[in-house]
Amino acid sequence: MRLRALLDTDALGLKLLGGEDELDRAVRGVMTTDLRDPSRYLAGGELVLTGLAWRRDADDSEPFVRILVQAGVAALAAGEAELGDVPEDLVVACARHRLPLFAVNESVAFASITEHVVRQVSGERAGDLAAVVDRHRRMMTSGPAGGGPDVVLDLLGSDLDLRAWVLSPTGRPIAGPKAAGPALPADVCAKLAGEHLAATRAGRRAPHRVALGGTTYSLFPVRSWGHRPAAAAGGRTAQAARDVRETVLSDWLLAVEADAGDWAEERLDLLYGVTQLIAVERDRRDAARTVRRRLAQEVLELVQTGAAPAEIAARLRVAAPVLLPGLGAAPHWQVVVARVEWADGETEAGPVAQALLEEILVDPLSTGPEHSDRIAVAHAGDEAIALVPLPAVSSEHDGSETGILADALLEAVRDPLTAGLDGDGRLTLGVSAAVHSAEGLRGALEEARHARRVAAARPGRVCAAGHQELASHVLLLPFVPDDVRRAFTARLLDPLRDYDRRHRAELIPTLEAFLDCDGSWTRCATRLHLHVNTLRYRVGRIEQLTGRDLSRLEDKLDFFLALRMS
């Protein structure tokens, strides 16, 4: 399609600000971006839509436009919602580089423009895709009854004989063909998500092909801009790496049961067109989270500024029906805190942590599809904070038994997220106990933050800790300085290690077993397959080498802590 056709479409409400002589340019795709350098995602011929969030001052317009021109885009369309009028410096830069520039009225959604361009361009490329697009357009305009992304995937199966699924970055199934056999197993979903994240972090060009159990899958990214990303010229720049960090852990993917390695260009374009259609639905779902995010932000600010419990309770009464419809206005609450830390510390991590926490917490306690997404998550700095409603429990329970458990949160997502972090960052989470009133929220927030610090002291890319661990020695151990740890463990354990090396006496394993058996001679001897006299000899040697008495509680505790810190 031509740029002139876009300008002639009244429903899009585009206003031409420059480039009257370039309106015969062909448009081959559409991309929405607020990245300062989106070149790695451009293949040429796109209409680029931007909300101008990349612009900090007038000097930013010239390099941004130059990047678009070098990538061969067809035109730029700037939204007026953020700054009001399109800045004059952007108009001048586009005129200098002969790049057509449109203004998008704040009443027009980028998703509407994206859908229109995809429908027109795809219709020109392939008749079979045009049929899918047209049916999907009717589905989307019909509202929720249209069926969502599942209908698109059913059409791919019926019209193009392709089985496909939409997955989240953690491997959670979002949509799948209802009439194409059984759903993908959970372990396959997790492996596909992990492979997709790893390939994206490595900068490999999509689609990514993965063979699992004799079946080949082709993985296509589903992004707001929806078009195939171009390979980064000359290697991955630091800016490109930061851009990947900001998106890879929140992007959906389309997994197609087919090997796209030998597909013709037209067929690849067909699938990328479908990802754009799915991206429209994703944008709608993201927009639906806006209210919940705002509620969480308001409650969090009240809690952190020391507002009166009555004021916090009033805000919770507003939040409860939105987050927990139909289950009462006075639920219990849990707080979950997440933090993403990048190796270089440069990329803003708060939004990434927020998106990840929303994904991890989607429906952890759901009893039906009507509660599929009820979590309110705010972010402040590099930290994301979730306010999780729980059904009110009977008075004889405190609610902790029915709440979210830290280990359960990561059970299904640890492997995919570890691949997505790719040795470059860490995700740590802390979970509070359930509280039943506004008065308890401040304590729950501090409890979740303490638990997250405990998780951060553990090895691994993705770690979590719960409130139960705060009443244990594990709360103290992570915060002991390294030099103190080394000195403490060396004083107690080095004599035993040296003796074991010289005599192969296994004093350290004996000590561990003795403490684990609570000092029971018979149980410990049975576990180690030793005679009790042999065990008594070893324990005596341990006491002789260290000057400690294992019949004393204090000395047992010192050995126990030394072993835990070693």
State whether 400 and 518 are in the same domain: no
User: Which neighbouring-strand residues pair with 337?
Assistant: 385, 430
Gyration radius of the chain over CA positions: 29
126 in any annotated domain: no
pLDDT, residue 147, reads 54
Element housing 376 (H / E): strand 376-380
pLDDT, residue 220, reads 93
The tokens describing 413, both together, are 């997502």
State whether 442 and 513 are in the same domain: no
Long-range CB pairs of 282-285, under 8 A, 24+ apart, other chains included? 282/222, 282/224, 282/252, 283/110, 283/111, 283/224, 284/111, 285/373
**Could you tell me the mean pLDDT of each successive run of 10 residues in the chain, 566 residues long?**
85 89 87 88 88 90 94 92 84 94 89 81 53 53 53 75 87 78 82 87 85 91 56 44 62 90 79 80 75 82 84 77 56 85 70 84 49 70 83 48 70 78 81 83 85 84 81 56 78 92 92 90 92 93 93 87 81
State whether 383 and 524 are in the same domain: no
State whether 219 and 365 are in the same domain: no
CATH code of the domain covering residue 96: 3.40.1390.20
- Could you give the angle at which helices 290-304 and 265-288 cross, rounded to 10 degrees? 40
Task: Compute the distance between CA of residue 388 and CA of residue 384 in angstroms, rounded to an integer.
Answer: 13
Question: Which of the listed residues 252, 285, 318 is the one where a domain comes to its end?
Answer: 285
pLDDT, residue 248, reads 65
pLDDT, residue 443, reads 83
Task: Compute the distance between CA of residue 558 and CA of residue 560 in angstroms, rounded to an integer.
Answer: 5
State whether 364 and 465 are in the same domain: yes
pLDDT, residue 366, reads 43
State whether 465 and 495 are in the same domain: no
CATH code of the domain covering residue 561: 1.10.10.2840
pLDDT digit string (tens) for 362-414? 754 443 334 445 678 888 778 899 888 776 654 444 444 456 777 777 777 78
Going by C-beta distance under 8 Å and a sequence separation of 6 or more, which residues neighbour residue 441?
299, 303, 312, 333, 335, 435
CATH code of the domain covering residue 204: 3.30.450.30
CATH code of the domain covering residue 354: 3.30.70
pLDDT, residue 404, reads 76
State whether 99 and 159 are in the same domain: no
State whether 276 and 306 are in the same domain: no
Q: Is the pTM of this model over 0.85?
A: no
pLDDT, residue 49, reads 92
169 in any annotated domain: yes
User: What SS3 class is residue 294?
Assistant: helix
State whether 351 and 473 are in the same domain: yes
State whether 301 and 172 are in the same domain: no
pLDDT, residue 497, reads 93
62 in any annotated domain: yes
pLDDT, residue 365, reads 42
121 in any annotated domain: no
Task: Compute the distance between CA of residue 133 and CA of residue 127 in angstroms, rounded to an integer.
Answer: 10
3 state SS for 191-209: HHHHHHHHHHHCCCCCCEE
State whether 325 and 435 are in the same domain: yes
Task: Compute the distance between CA of residue 176 and CA of residue 164 in angstroms, rounded to an integer.
Answer: 6
State whether 307 and 446 are in the same domain: yes
pLDDT digit string (tens) for 117-167? 877 765 554 454 555 555 555 545 444 444 567 777 877 777 677 889 999
Structural domain boundaries enclosing 45: 3-108
Is there a contact between 340 and 422 (Cβ–Cβ < 8 Å)? no
Q: How many CB atoms lie within 10 A of CB 317?
A: 12
Work out how many domains the chain is built from and give that number.
4
3 state SS for 228-263: CCCCCCCCCCHHHHHHHHHHHCCCEEEEECCCHHHC
128 in any annotated domain: no
118 in any annotated domain: no
98 in any annotated domain: yes
Question: Which of the listed residues 268, 285, 302 is the one where a domain comes to its end?
Answer: 285
Question: Which of the listed residues 458, 479, 500 is the one where a domain comes to its end?
Answer: 479
Task: Compute the distance between CA of residue 249 and CA of residue 355 in angstroms, rounded to an integer.
Answer: 8
449 in any annotated domain: yes
The tokens describing 417, both together, are 């997220």
